[in-house]
Structure 1
Amino acid sequence: MSAALAGMLLGLAGAAGLLLVVAFAPPFRSVRLVDRLAPYVHDTPPPSRLLGTATEAGLLTAARRVFGPVIADGARLVDRVLGGRTAVRRRLDALGGKTTVEDFRIEQVVWGGLALLGAALLATVGSLLAGSLNLFSAALLCLAGLLGGVLGRDWWLTQQVRRREELLLAEFPVIAELLALAVTAGESPTAAIARVTRLSGGELAGELGAALGRTRAGVPLVDALQQVADRTSLAPLARFIDGLLVAVERGTPLAEVLRAQAADVREAGKRRLLEAGGRKEIAMMVPVVFLVLPITVLFALFPGLISIVSLAR
């Protein structure tokens, strides 16, 4: 790398840093409505940190404290460009966490920034090894890293939701049969749910326990269970919640319905295993066709080929 090119890059980095400092300085930063109203509505001093719960720690919190305004602007830009707040909200609800859409957008910005930093380091190392810098290739690599980081966080959210739904389906037959056993023993649906959530663990038991906690806080049990059904995209779990709702509202027999639903989910699990086995068989044909078969043919034909070449000489 020549001295002129290195000086140009250093000058560009310094100018960009100076521009960011000036753009996000307090005198030039636009005041938000929340900041304007904060002195008038916050009439009580904040409580001591010793009296509250432990604050969250991690990459998201550190990034917010260091690069707060830049990350907030980037999160709003990502939200405007990508859109789909409803789909993101539905997947976050299906994940069962307390992450908001704004927090998720901030995580996307952080992932994109880290990927951009990695791509810039890779481009720098490649230019040092090659002895020259191709600005177009470096820009494309940085852009690909930025987009890959932002979209990679969205892909990872989808994988998390899919993994959690698999856990819910795996736990569903056991939870349903335990509820059926408790109801058959004479307990009410609410008492049966309380007993099952107390004696078992897992994602589905946690969902039912959260619904029961909302019920104890004053929400009707029907509404709390309906919230669980609205957050999931699994048809067996939705039918299970509907059966519980019908039993709670109308007093219909519940044990046989729960046992039938558990049997249906087990049969669906067997079908999924058979389908997965069929896909694995097709995937196993790839090394057989492209690796084992050519080597076998080569071992079979190589001696004859050597004999023909020897006779030809």
Structure 2
Amino acid sequence: MSKKITMQDIANHLNISKNSVSQALSGKAGVSEPTRQLVHKAAEELGYQYKTTKNTPGNLKNIGLIASDFAFSQKRFFGEIYLSTEKEAINRGMNLFIHSISAHARENLILPPFIQKNEVEGVLILSHISNEYINKIIATGIPTVMIDHHHPLIQADAILTNNRFGAYKAVKHLIDLGHQSIAFVGNIEISPSYQERWEGYLLALRENGLEADPEVMFLHAKEEEEDINQLISQSNKQPTAWFCVNDGLGFLVLSKLQKDGLKIPEQASISSFDNGQLSQISTPKITTMGIDLALYGKKAVEQLVWRIDHPDEPLFELLLPTVLIERESTAKPIKEQMLK
């Protein structure tokens, strides 16, 4: 079977950049007419398959949105981001192609048909798939923007939550209430977001003169009831406050502590992240960090449109702010209350 010719092959053949090849084949400005003709000639000689497009203000742009099957299943978080992305694309008169990446496609590096057939001018990648898979998409030369994920080995624009500062604010809130023993709950190996939230937790402790205690940092906690129940039961210490990297973990920690007979927030305060449904329906409702999910989609499409027109500009990471939503699950420690 003959090797499939890529834009990089054409770039190597002509000793020019892949971005220049992309601009020439897509009809964009940025390359001279002689270069454009050379690229088209080389593409024909090498057997590169492409669809000629012309960008004019009146033409619709086609963009793609892909995510893993798991990410698409998280309807209350990623579903809201998807809807805001679709809304922004429609507002801009663009066509949005959606494709879910199965485990089989990820492991075998099978790209969506609209990328293989060069039917879209840019692609949005929602959350993590795998570095190898994402980098294969980037290697096609198609402009790419990541949503809620980044990695040092992925060279693409990214729209992210300011996880470090968000976690810092959540933990600082607990410290300001008077808590000095604050647990961390979250698997930092699952996502860069959770790793960054741990770093924000550590920063808040350090800046406020508190030492991080390994005995109350549960860095590999699974978002499963059995796992949370076990780690709390086996803990040698009972912190007065808990910071959880997402609302699901916050809900599980709250439920376990209540089963153990602790009153929330009188005997233990709980703070989480994302402002999802579980933080809103729990009793008591959980203090959390709110994220503007609609802003994710808007900024992602906005950045992709800019990147399509500016392929050679430096890469950007945009950090979206978070807001502390104080609810009934956090209060002063019981000793502090008794002093009042």
Fold match (TM-score > 0.5): no
Rg larger in structure = 1
Choose between structure 1 and 2: higher strand proportion: 2
- Greater relative contact order (Cα 8 A, min sep 6): structure 1 or 2? 2
Choose between structure 1 and 2: higher helix proportion: 1
